[in-house]
Amino acid sequence: MMSALLTVKDLKVSYGGINAVKGIDLYVNHGELVALIGANGAGKSSSLKAIAGLLTPSAGEIDFANHATKKLPAYELVRLGLGMVPEGRGVFKRMTILENLQMGAYLQSDAKEIERKLEEVYSYFPRLKERLSQLAGTLSGGEQQMVAMGRAMMAQPKLMLLDEPSMGLSPIMVETIFDVIRSLSASGITILLVEQNARLALRMSDRAYVMDSGLITLGGSGKELLEDPRVRTAYLGE
């Protein structure tokens, strides 16, 4: 029996008079890659932000790494090992690539360890190493996504939350980013992935959930959901 690193029970999120998340249950086991798919406005990003401590849930429980985290601020969750790559990437545009990556290691005081982590990031994203002094705001969308992922990796997360990593990227860049996600998963990092590209997300995930209008309507292995006629019709254009 695998143990859950993240457990979410009856999570509800409301803001601006909208009930964005209406009571969802999900879990992510150690070492799993779990996808959350659904149409725009289904509540996927709101769920991720609540798990990351960026939105305060109106109800429900979140347990991460054996801590009840619903009321913890986001920076405490980072200390516990939660890393997030936000939708829209959220890089520091007036800082260099290197400075952005170093921001991910702000909890780490061991210079040798920071250097080791930087080299690890460069091994995944050699393009970043070639232009460390370039301002992040001058990079392409795909390169900014690399910086955002590298920054999250610097914190050595136990769980990485990825919010729409393929959004706005060219097909070649999507392939590059998803190759890295696969490699990170294979290296043992637990991943919860919110992704518009349902086919891509389901193909690479161990398990997945389908979200619709603030509720989880289906769950199963990535393979099962890829073959589910309801998913094929609604999300795979078949």
* CATH architecture, domain 32-49+79-235: 3-Layer(aba) Sandwich (3.40)
Q: Which residues of the chain have pLDDT under 70?
A: 1-2, 238
pLDDT at 16: 83
pLDDT at 2: 65
- Give the pLDDT confidence of 75-84 residue by residue, as tens digits: 999 999 999 9
CA dist., res. 96 & res. 86, Å (int): 19
Q: What is the mean pLDDT of the chain?
A: 94
pLDDT at 26: 97
Give the residue from 116, 124, 115, 112 showing the smallest Cα distance to 85: 124
CA dist., res. 118 & res. 108, Å (int): 12
CB 145 within 8 A of CB 169: yes
pLDDT at 115: 95
pLDDT at 71: 87
- The amino acid that residue 57 corresponds to is P
pLDDT at 170: 93
Beta partners for 162?
A: 85, 193
- Give the pLDDT confidence of 10-60 residue by residue, as tens digits: 999 998 888 999 999 999 999 999 999 999 889 999 999 999 999 999 999
pLDDT at 36: 97
pLDDT at 237: 79
Q: Sign (positive/negative) of CA torsion 189, 192, 194, 195?
A: positive
pLDDT at 101: 97
b/e code 151-180 from CB counts within 10 Å (16+ = b): bbbbbbbbbbbbbbbbbebeeebbebbbeb
- Global pTM value: 0.93
CA dist., res. 22 & res. 15, Å (int): 12
| Domain residue extents for the chain | 32-49+79-235
